[in-house]
Amino acid sequence: MFVDSHCHLSFPELAERVDAIRAEMVAARVDRALCICTTLEEFDTVHGLATRYDNFWCSAGVHPDSEGVREPTLDDLLGLAARARVVAIGETGLDYYRLNGRSVAEMEWQRQRFRVHIRAARAARLPLVIHTRSASDDTLGILQEEGAGAAGGVFHCFTETMEVARAALDLGFYVSFSGILTFRNAVELQQVARFVPLDRCLIETDSPYLAPVPFRGKTNTPALVPHVAAKLAELKGMSLEKVAAATSANFETLFRSSSKT
Ligand SMILES: [Zn+2]
Ligand SMILES: [Zn+2]
């Protein structure tokens, strides 16, 4: 059985088809998924999935790319963290990829938002789901300054260097691989996947985006996560069953989902 540790089933491409997606998941032996929140406005929809279906859980947080939305306070996040089926804080982090003409200095609001999430995760004793793009130095620096190791978490959809992977592992974090791992040009990332110990690896789809080969460019769903597992197994020279079992066990260790009703 496989677990998708990061998907966006509330996004319009998927929200209409949840029943069909769930049937595809059964056929593909994907038995659990973590539905990720990206705005406070979206929380009720994401949370609804996690309360309606006993093999879905959810996070609470505001994505660094979410602009023009309600800014979360520590109390907002703690209130959501206490709700049933909420097993993580995020996705949160830093994204300097789309600066839209701004300087990194002007992105202080993102760094402040990120700090609020880390403080919430520590106070609520929930792990963090970290999104970082073109911002790894600041991401790691803030995680260290805020003592994020006490909360733990995962660097989701990992696309950073070996050095960043090492730093994430040193902080006690997990590293999650997406369909990008299956892309032909992802040579450096494939090296990282060989390096990260199996007991710190997670797999995800980040659906509806980043469908793995041979579905690249199509709409992604949690049912495609076994293709990520297969690539990870190939890179590590292990059986698919071993990778499936380990990444599923890691999901449970990190999110303790079975105990969060
Ligand atoms: Zn992300
Ligand atoms: Zn995401």
For 95-135, write each residue's pLDDT tens digit.
999 899 999 999 999 999 999 999 999 999 999 999 999 99
pLDDT bucket at 260, cuts 50 / 70 / 90: confident
Proximal ligand: closest to the CA of 130: 1
Kindly state the percentage of the chain with pLDDT values over 70: 100
261 or 226, greater pLDDT? 226
Give dist(CA 259, CA 216) in Å, integer.
Answer: 35
CA–chain centroid gap for 131, Å, is 7
Instruction: Please tell me the distance between residue 14's alpha carbon and the centre of ligand 2 in angstroms.
Output: 14
Give dist(CA 150, CA 126) in Å, integer.
Answer: 9
Tokens (6 digits) for 128: 């963090």
3-state SS class at 82 = coil
Alpha-carbon torsion (237, 26, 89, 210), positive or negative: positive
Give dist(CA 187, CA 235) in Å, integer.
Answer: 11
Proximal ligand: closest to the CA of 95: 1
Is the model's pLDDT at 241 over the cut of 80? yes
Contact yes or no for 250/256 (Cβ under 8 A): no
Contact yes or no for 29/35 (Cβ under 8 A): no
CA dihedral of residues 244, 245, 246, 249 (deg, nearest 10): 120
Average pLDDT, the chain: 97
Give dist(CA 43, CA 108) in Å, integer.
Answer: 24
Proximal ligand: closest to the CA of 205: 2
Tokens (6 digits) for 211: 């469908």
Instruction: Please tell me the distance between residue 130's alpha carbon and the centre of ligand 2 in angstroms.
Output: 9
Q: E-strand spans in 96-140?
A: 128-133
Instruction: Please tell me the distance between residue 36's alpha carbon and the centre of ligand 2 in angstroms.
Output: 6
Instruction: Please tell me the distance between residue 120's alpha carbon and the centre of ligand 2 in angstroms.
Output: 19
Residue 109 neighbours by CB distance under 10 Å: 11
pLDDT tens-digit series, residues 180-239: 999 999 999 999 999 999 999 999 999 999 999 999 999 999 999 999 999 999 999 999
Give dist(CA 26, CA 39) in Å, integer.
Answer: 29
Give dist(CA 247, CA 131) in Å, integer.
Answer: 19
